[in-house]
Amino acid sequence: MNRREIREAIFKLLFRADFYEADDLEEQMRLFMEEVNGGTQEDLAYIQEKFKKALERIPEIDDMVNGAAKGWKTTRMGKADLTIIRLAVYEIKFDEDIPQGVAINEAVELAKKYGTDDSPSFVNGILAKLV
């Protein structure tokens, strides 16, 4: 898997977090990993690790987003947009392996694929306020 495919897999897994109880997430991760095609053991381990680390930071990330998003709270955002923003903020603030520009660009690309017509500019605007 290339980095974009890995990031998309992390996004899909993180998206599930809003729909399941914390106790169910381990099972959801296992089920998701069974569906991932083309990933090596290293890729799958990386996806699980980044998912868990991002998930741990969601309250902190949401506080940052709520502070930056004027007129928008995370509770009002679309789930896809919110998940994309959470992943990008995690990469920008807590993952030293991902350059800031790459995280923003990849978030916009995910927004084009999974969001609405307004999602790319919305995601880019929120992230611009956070960097």
Q: What mean pLDDT do residues 61-84 have? A: 93
Q: What is the DSSP letter of 118?
A: T
Q: Sorting pLDDT into bands at 50, 70 and 90, what band is 38?
A: confident
Give the CA-trace dihedral at 18, 21, 25, 28, to 10 degrees: -80
- Sorted by where each starts, the structural domains of the chain and their CATH numbers stand as 3-130 (1.10.940.10)
Report which of 39, 28, 31, 30 is spatially closest to residue 1, judged by C-alpha positions: 39
pLDDT of residue 120: 97
**Amino acid at site 85:** I
Best CA proximity match to 63, nearest among 79, 78, 75, 46? 75
- pTM assigned to the model: 0.92
Q: What is the pLDDT of residue 126?
A: 95
Q: What is the pLDDT of residues 98-122, one digit of tens each?
A: 999 999 999 999 999 999 999 999 9
Helix, strand, coil content of the chain in percent (nearest 5): 75, 0, 25
With 90 as the cut, is the pLDDT of residue 31 above it? no
